[in-house]
């Protein structure tokens, strides 16, 4: 996902035995909840799960997915055609591009964005039109700034709110506008809702499928990696338009055999966990958010309080590129952050910090920054 020089420096530091505080990955810390593990163990011991799973996923997991959508968003979905389990959402996002994008097709992708949103279309031979996001627009796509000539050519629009890497959130009105835009220009919408449940302070993210007419032109991806600490289990799903999902399913039948049935059983358990678990996860990340924002504030950074995700999007010191800043922080302190340009040209000038360590470890990271004299000092305006 990231730039080669930054990755090599990180690996070299680790090989030298340095105590890295790795806040660069989107890899949740902590164990998978015990009820999920217990469900997986029981399912593994059932011989019926040892063969090939159904290509379209088990009926019970698909039902758990659609029940979850009904409970969370009051969205009705048909488990027999409007939900498809995936080997993690990244796999599905990329395979959808291969299934639907032909060489030369124009694809709209925000910048910065999760790399699979532009690398999948590039692998498929698509042409990327970057939609540069700006802080003054709260990192939202400016639909009005897209030239009509571009919109008329575009085949697909990838987007992601709550956002990785910016942690930006979008109001319901934005989703209404993007559906109207896509219907007007006959564009397939691909929404990545990976951070649906990592929301704070009473904020509830919007599902694209809540918007009337959205299901006619769109699909939405979700993963169990973040909320349920299941990153290594590789399980996610896509929901939405049945014809689009069928196209992805057809491709996948020629690419893989689906998710091990025992893992699908564990994923069902995850989606059915009581909300008390969800609240614990939200409290964990909210506490870390508040702690790190306050600590960075003492070093000169004024970071807006995020409403969702497990990230902070932090500006580099003036006149410092994101790769250079991330390398400098790594070399001087052993703290790993991700350079913003790893997420596209629109991420230059920022780094992403993941809230994947407890507050004691975050305090160590802040102490190292302070000892190294790394601070944020806004550029002075000469009168």
For the segment 255-300, what is each residue's pLDDT rounded down to a tens digit? 888 999 999 999 999 999 999 999 999 999 999 999 999 999 999 9
In a domain? residue 379? no
For the chain, what is the radius of gyration of the CA atoms? Answer: 21
Residue ending a domain, among 236, 255, 271, is 271
- Average pLDDT, stretch 98-122? 97
**What pLDDT score does 18 carry?**
75
Residue 13, pLDDT > 80, answer no
Residues 76 and 190 in one domain: yes
- What is the percent of the chain with per-residue pLDDT over 70, rounded to a whole number? 94
SS percent in the chain: helix, strand, coil, step 5: 45, 15, 40
Q: Is residue 229 part of a domain?
A: yes
pLDDT at site 382: 52
The reply to whether 382 falls in a domain is no
- Check whether 2 has a pLDDT greater than 50: no
Nearest to 173 by CA among 140, 197, 130, 135: 140
d(CA 14, CA 289): 26
CA distances from 197 to 38, 82, 280 (A): 23, 21, 11
Taking all residues of the chain, what is their mean pLDDT, rounded to a whole number? 93
The answer to whether residues 80 and 117 belong to one domain is yes
Residue 301: domain span = 4-26+276-371
CATH classification at residue 305: 3.90.1150.10
Q: Same structural domain for residues 215 and 320? A: no
How sure is the predictor about 11, in pLDDT bands with cuts at 50, 70 and 90? low
pLDDT in tens, 48-64: 999 999 999 999 999 99
**Does pLDDT of 309 surpass 80?**
yes
Supply the pTM of this predicted model. Answer: 0.92
Are 197 and 284 part of one and the same domain?
no
> In terms of domains, do 242 and 349 share one?
no
Whether 225 and 311 have beta carbons less than 8 Å apart is answered as no
Instruction: State how many domains the chain has.
Output: 2
List, for residues 132-174, the tens digit of each pLDDT value.
999 999 999 999 999 999 999 999 999 999 999 999 999 999 9
Give backbone dihedrals phi and psi of 207, rounded to 5 degrees, phi first.
-85, 135
- Biggest CA–CA distance in the chain, Å, is 76
């Amino acid at each position: 996902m990231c730039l080669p020089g930054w990755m090599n420096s990180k690996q070299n530091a680790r090989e030298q035995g340095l105590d890295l505080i790795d806040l660069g990955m989107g890899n949740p810390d902590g164990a998978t909840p015990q009820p999920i593990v217990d469900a997986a163990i029981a399912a593994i011991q059932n011989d019926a799960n040892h063969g090939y799973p159904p290509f379209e996923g088990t009926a019970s997991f698909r039902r758990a997915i659609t029940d979850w959508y009904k409970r969370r968003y009051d969205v009705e979905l048909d488990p027999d055609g409007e939900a498809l389990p995936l080997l993690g959402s990244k796999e599905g996002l990329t395979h959808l591009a291969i299934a639907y994008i032909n060489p030369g097709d124009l694809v709209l992708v925000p910048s910065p964005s999760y790399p699979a949103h532009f690398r999948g279309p590039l692998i498929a031979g698509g042409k990327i039109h970057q939609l540069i996001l700006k802080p003054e627009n709260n990192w939202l796509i400016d639909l009005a700034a897209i030239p009509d000539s571009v919109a008329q050519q575009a085949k697909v629009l990838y987007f992601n709110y709550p956002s990785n890497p910016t942690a930006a959130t979008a109001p319901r009105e934005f989703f209404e506008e993007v559906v109207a835009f896509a219907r007007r220009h006959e564009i397939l919408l691909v929404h990545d809702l990976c951070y649906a449940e990592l929301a704070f302070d009473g904020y509830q993210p919007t599902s694209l499928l809540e918007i009337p007419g959205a299901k006619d032109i769109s699909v939405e991806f979700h993963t169990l990696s973040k909320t349920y600490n299941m990153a290594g289990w590789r399980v996610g799903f896509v929901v939405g338009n049945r014809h689009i999902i069928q196209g992805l399913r057809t491709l996948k039948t020629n690419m893989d055999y689906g998710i091990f049935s025992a893992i699908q059983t564990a994923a069902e358990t995850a989606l059915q966990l009581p909300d008390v678990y969800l609240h614990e996860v939200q409290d964990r990340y909210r506490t870390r958010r508040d702690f790190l924002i306050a600590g960075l504030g003492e070093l000169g950074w004024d970071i807006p309080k995020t409403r969702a995700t497990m990230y902070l999007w932090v500006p580099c010191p003036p006149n410092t590129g994101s790769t250079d800043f991330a390398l400098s922080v790594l070399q001087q302190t052993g703290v790993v952050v991700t350079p913003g340009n790893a997420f596209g040209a629109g991420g230059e000038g920022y780094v992403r910090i993941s809230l994947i360590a407890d507050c004691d470890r975050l305090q160590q990271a802040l102490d190292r920054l302070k000892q190294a004299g790394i601070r944020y000092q806004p550029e002075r305006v000469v009168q």
